[in-house]
A and B are shown apart, each in its own frame.
Chain A
Amino acid sequence: MLAAGMMCCAAATAQSRGALRLNEVMVENTAEGIADEYGAHHGWIEIFNTNFAPIEISSIYLTNDSTNPTKYPVPLGDVNTRMPKRQHVIFFTDGEPNKGTFHTNFVLTPGADNWIGIYDADGRTLIDEIIVPAALTAGQSYARSEDGKGEWAVRTGGADDYITPSSANVINDTNQKIQDFAERDANGFGMTIMAMCIVFSALLVLCLCFYGIGKINSAMSRVNKARAHGHEAPQLKTIKEVGHDTGEEIAAIAMALEQHFNAHDAESTVLTINKVRRAYSPWSSKIYNMREVPSRK
C-alpha cells in the first residue's frame, strides 16, 4: 500500500509538472526591455503554470541543447520556485547561474534558430519544447497567442502585439464572459432560457432514469415473489397482482383475517397507542448533582 501510495504521489507530481508550458521567449533583449535584479538586459524564457494548483519547479531542467537535456537544473531550496496557480516565471538566459535561481547557465544565440526544452526531474521526460526562429530581432519576443496554449507568433512590442514578460500574454481588464452577457443578454432572457433548459434536462434525465429503474425493480420483485410462491417465469403474467401490496391492502387483509378468525375474546374495538415517555435525563439525575455520602471504612 505504501509503495502504491508513493507511486500515486510520484505520478501526481509528474502530472502536475506536465502542466508547465514555455510561454514567451526573447532571445536578444534591449535597454527598453525588462531588466534583471542587477539592472542588466539579457534574453529571457517565460514559463507558465497552466494548472489551477501550485507547482514546485525546482529540479526540473531547462536546456537549449536537445542532446543535453539536463543542462540547467533549477536549483532546490528557493521559495520562489513554487509557482502559484496560473502564474508565470521568467529565467534570464545570461549564462551566469551564480547570479541566482532564475539565471540559466546558457545563452540564446541571436540570428539562429534556438531550440528550448523543459525536462522533468528525471532528465528524460520532455515537458515542452519550442524552436524560436532565427528571424527574431533584438527587442522582439516569440510568444503564444494565449497563456499556455495557442499558436506561437513574433511580437514586436506594438500596441496590438505587446511583449509581456512575467505576465499574461493577453491582458484582460474585464471578465470576457460577464462582459458578453452584459452586452448581448442585457435583460437576462437568454440566460433564463438556457439555464432553465439545463436544469429541466438534468432533472428530466434523472426522472426518466428512475422510472426505468423503478420498472426494472418492480419486475424483479415480481419475479422473486413468484419464485417464492413456486411459480415458473412464464406464469408471471398471470400472477401480476402479487406485486400490489400497498400498506392499505395489507391493513385491510389483516383486519379481514382478524374478523374472520375472531381469534380474541370480546374486546372493545378501541386500540390506544400511548407514547412511552422517559422522564429520566442525566441532567436531572441526582447521581450527577450530589456528592456521594462519605462513609468511614
Chain B
Amino acid sequence: MDFGDFLLKNLRQFWELTGFANAEWGNIIMLAVGLFFIWLAIKKNFEPMLLVPIGFGILIGNVPFNTEAGLEIGIYEQGSVLNILYNGVSAGWYPPLIFLGIGAMTDFSALIANPKLMLIGAAAQFGIFGAYMVALAIGFAPDQAGAIAIIGGADGPTAIFLSSKLAPNLMGAIAVSAYSYMALVPVIQPPLMRLFTTKKERLIKMKPARAVSQNEKIIFPIVGMLLTCFVVPSGLPLLGMLFFGNLLRECGVTTRLAKTASNALTDIVTILLGMTVGASTQASQFLTPQTIFIFFLGFMAFVIASSSGVLFVKLFNLVLPKDKKINPLIGNAGVSAVPMSARISNNLGLEYDPSNYLLMHAMGPNVAGVIGSAVAAGVLLGFLA
C-alpha cells in the first residue's frame, strides 16, 4: 500500500464516522423538531427554561454517528458521558431534586389560607385517569398506560419519574410530550375555560385570602409530608423532597439552603434534565407510531384535566354559600404547570373584569395540583410497579 492509498483509506474510514455518512431521514426530522423547540422558546417565549435545553438536547441526541464504531458517545451507550448524565433520568433521581427546588420556591400560603382549594387540585387529576382509560382502549398495557397518562398531571418531573419506573422505553416520548403541552398551556386551556363557564361565573369575585402565620407555614410541609406519604408511601421521593424544600424555605433558619435549592440546584438539575431528556429522543427510539399515540394521549390528558378542574369548581359552587363561591376560572390551575396555569386564570379573569385579580386564588389549586399529581403518581406506582 503506497502513501496515497493509506491516506485515502483513512479518509474513507473517517468519512464513514461522520454524521453526513450516517444521516437518516429520522435524524433530519428530529433535528427539525429540536430547532422548532428552540424557535418556540426564543421567539415565542414558550417555557424557554425547558424548551431550550430540551431542544438543544434533541439536536445533540440526533447528530448521526456510526453506532458500531464503539465511540461510546451515544446516550444509550453504557459509560458514555451522556449516558452517565442520563442516569439521573433513567434511575429517576433528577425529578426529586427538581421537586426539592419547587418546594423551596413555592409559597403555599394561598392553599393554607383556603384549604378547600386543595380539592380542585385533586379533581384535576381526573385528567390522568381519563387518559389512562383512553390509553387502555387504544391498546397500551396497564403499566404503559399509567406512564403515559401521568402527562395529564402537567408535571414534567413527575412524568419522568413515573415513566422511568413503569415504561422506561417510552420515557423520551412521554417527557417531551409532557413538556411540550406544558409550554402550550396558554393555547390549550383558555378555550376550554371559556367553553365550560358562563359570563356570570367568570365575574365571581373571591374574598381576599386571610393572612397566614409563620407557624402555619412551618407546620404545613411537616404535616403535609406525613399525611400524604402515610397514604401513598410510593410517592415519598417526590412528596418528601417537595415538602422538605418548602420547610427549608419557611422555617426561617435555613435561608442559604433554601436559596441554593431554589436557585443553583434547580438550575443545574433543570439543565441536565432538559438536555438529557432531549438527547434521549434519538430518531430510532423516538420516531415510532407509539410516539404519535403518546402525543395524542398527552393532549387528551391535558384537556380532560383542565376541563375537570373547571367543572369541579362549578359543581363545588352548588354547595358553597353565596359569599364563598369560587371563580371557576381558577379550576384549570388544578393541573400543576406552576405558575403558568395560575397566570392564565388571572389573565382570563382580568379580561372579563379588569379589577378581578385571580392570581393568588389560582395559586392554591395550582400548588395543590403539584401535590395531587405526585400522589397520583404514587398511586399508579403502587398499583402497577
Which residues of B approach A to under 8 Å, CB–CB? 111-113, 115-116, 118-119, 121-123, 125-126, 128-130, 132-133, 135-137, 141-143, 145, 208, 210-211, 213, 215-216, 219-220, 223-224, 227-228, 231-232, 368, 371-372, 375-376, 379-380, 383-385
Contact = CB atoms under 8 A, between A and B. Distances in A.
A80 B137 CA distance: 47
Contacts of B126: 192, 196
A207 B113 CA distance: 10
A285 interface: no
A177 to B, nearest CB: 6
A244 to B, nearest CB: 9
A248 to B, nearest CB: 7
A150 interface: no
Contacts of B137: 187
Given A188-B145, A247-B208, A202 B232 contact: yes
B380 A195 contact: yes
B375 A199 contact: yes
B141 A198 contact: no
Given A188-B136, A204-B119, A206-B118, A198 B375 contact: yes
A246 B210 contact: yes
A8 to B, nearest CB: 21
A182 B380 contact: no
Interface string A191-205: 110111011111111
Contacts of B142: 178, 181-182, 185, 188, 191
Contacts of B219: 213
A195 B115 contact: no
A87 B125 CA distance: 38
Interface in A151-196: 175, 177-178, 181-182, 185-189, 191-192, 194-196
27 contacts: A175-B143, A177-B384, A178-B143, A181-B142, A186-B136, A187-B133, A188-B129, A188-B142, A194-B383, A195-B129, A195-B380, A198-B379, A199-B372, A202-B122, A202-B232, A203-B122, A204-B118, A206-B223, A206-B371, A207-B116, A208-B115, A210-B112, A210-B223, A211-B115, A213-B216, A214-B113, A218-B210
B210 A200 contact: no
Given A186-B136, A195-B379, A214-B216, A202 B130 contact: no
A109 interface: no
A177 B383 contact: yes
B231 A202 contact: yes
Contacts of A201: 231
Contacts, number: 122
Interface residues of A, number: 38
Interface in A191-244: 191-192, 194-196, 198-211, 213-214, 217-218, 221
Nearest to A205: B227
Contacts of B211: 245-246
B121 A203 contact: yes
A187 B122 CA distance: 22
B133 A192 contact: yes
A246 B208 contact: yes
Contacts of A203: 118-119, 121-122, 368, 371-372, 375
A220 to B, nearest CB: 8
A212 to B, nearest CB: 9
Contact of B220 (A185, A196, A198, A210): A210
Nearest to A182: B142
Contacts of A192: 126, 129-130, 132-133
Interface string A254-293: 0000000000000000000000000000000000000000
B225 to A, nearest CB: 10
Given A199-B372, A201-B231, A206 B115 contact: yes
A202 B143 contact: no
A204 B143 contact: no
A209 B141 contact: no
Contact of A200 (B113, B122, B215, B385): B122
Best-surrounded residue of A186, A188, A208, A247 (most CB of chain B within 10 A)? A188
Contact of B383 (A187, A195, A200): A195
Given A178-B384, A191-B129, A208-B115, 14 more contacts: A175-B143, A177-B385, A181-B142, A188-B133, A189-B133, A191-B132, A191-B142, A198-B232, A198-B379, A200-B123, A201-B231, A207-B119, A210-B111, A221-B213
Contacts of A213: 216, 219, 223
A195 B376 contact: yes
Contact of B141 (A178, A200, A210, A218): A178
Most B C-beta atoms less than 10 A away, residue of A189, A191, A248: A191
A200 B121 CA distance: 9
Contacts of A195: 125, 128-129, 376, 379-380, 383
Nearest to A177: B384
Contacts of A194: 379, 383
Nearest to A189: B133
A199 B227 contact: no
A93 B113 CA distance: 68
A247 to B, nearest CB: 7
- 9 tightest Cβ-Cβ pairs between the two chains A and B: A188-B133, A192-B129, A181-B142, A207-B115, A210-B115, A203-B122, A202-B231, A203-B118, A207-B118
B125 A199 contact: yes
Contact of B119 (A187, A191, A200, A209): A200
